[in-house]
Amino acid sequence: MFGLVMRTPPFELQTRPNDMPSIQRKEGWEISENAVTPEEVFMNRRQLIKAGLGIAGAGVVGSLAWNHLNAENFVYDVSRYKKINFIKNEDFKVKRAMTEEAVAGNYNNFYEFSEQKGQVIGLSRNMKTRPWKIEVSGLVNKPLTLDIDDILKQFPQEERIYRFRCVEAWSMVVPWIGFKLSDLIKKVEPKAEAKYVRFLTFKDPDMAPNQKSDRYPWPYYEGLTIEEANNELTLLATGIYGHEMPPQHGAPIRVIVPWKYGFKSIKSIVKIEFTDKQPKTFWSDLIPNEYDFWSNVNPTVPHPRWSQASERLLGKLTGGTIDYTRVPTLMYNGYEAQVAHLYKKT
Ligand code: MTE
Among 18-22, 36-40, 49-53, 252-256, name the most confident range.
252-256
* Entry pTM: 0.86
pLDDT score for 317: 81
Give the span between the Cα atoms of 247 and 123, in whole angstroms. Answer: 9
Per-residue pLDDT of 75-133, as tens digits, reads: 678 889 999 999 999 999 999 999 999 999 989 999 999 998 888 999 999 999 999 99
The region of weakest confidence among 59-63, 153-157, 339-343 is: 59-63
Q: What percent of the chain has pLDDT over 90?
A: 72
* pLDDT tens digits for range 216-231: 999 999 999 999 999 9
The residue with greater pLDDT, 176 or 18, is 176
Residue 181, CB-side half-sphere exposure with 13 Å CA sphere: 31
Q: What is the pLDDT at residue 63? A: 72
Judge contact between 89 and 60, C-beta under 8 A: no
**Which residue has a Cα nearest atom 11 of ligand 1?**
110
Lowest-confidence pick of 177-191, 202-216, 309-323, 329-343 = 309-323
CA–centroid distance, 156 to ligand 1, in Å, is 24
Closest residue by Cα to residue 15 from 121, 165, 122, 115: 115
- pLDDT, one tens digit per residue, over 30-89 is 223 322 222 222 222 222 222 222 223 346 677 776 544 344 455 678 889 999 999 999
Residue 5 in contact with residue 27, Cβ under 8 Å?
A: yes
The residues facing 310 across adjacent strands are: 328
Q: Which domains does the chain have, with CATH numbers?
A: 5-343 (3.90.420.10)
Best probe residue, ligand 1, of 123, 263, 333 (max atoms within 8 Å of C-beta): 263
pLDDT at position 47, please? 27
Q: Span 164-177, mean pLDDT?
A: 97
Rounded to the nearest integer, the mean pLDDT of the chain is 83
> In 3D, which of 209, 216, 205, 45 has the Cα closest to residue 119?
209
Helices (H) and strands (E) in the chain, counts: 7, 14
Mean pLDDT, residues 316-330: 87
Asked, as a colleague might, if the bond just before 10 is cis with ω within 30 of 0, I would say yes
| Average pLDDT over every residue of 293-318 | 95
Q: How far is the CA of 44 from the centre of ligand 1 (A)?
A: 25
Whether residue 300 is predicted with pLDDT greater than 50 in this model: the reply is yes
Q: In angstroms, what is the span from residue 34 Cα to ligand 1's centroid? A: 25
Ligand 1 pocket, CB under 6 A: 1, 108-112, 166, 201, 220, 249-250, 262-263, 265-268
| Rounded average pLDDT over 130-149 | 98
| Res 196 pLDDT > 70 | yes
What is the pLDDT at residue 65?
60
Average the pLDDT over each of 105-109, 185-189, 272-276, 308-312 and give the range with the smallest value.
Answer: 105-109
Going by DSSP bridges, is the β-strand pair 170-180/235-240 parallel, antiparallel, or unpaired?
antiparallel
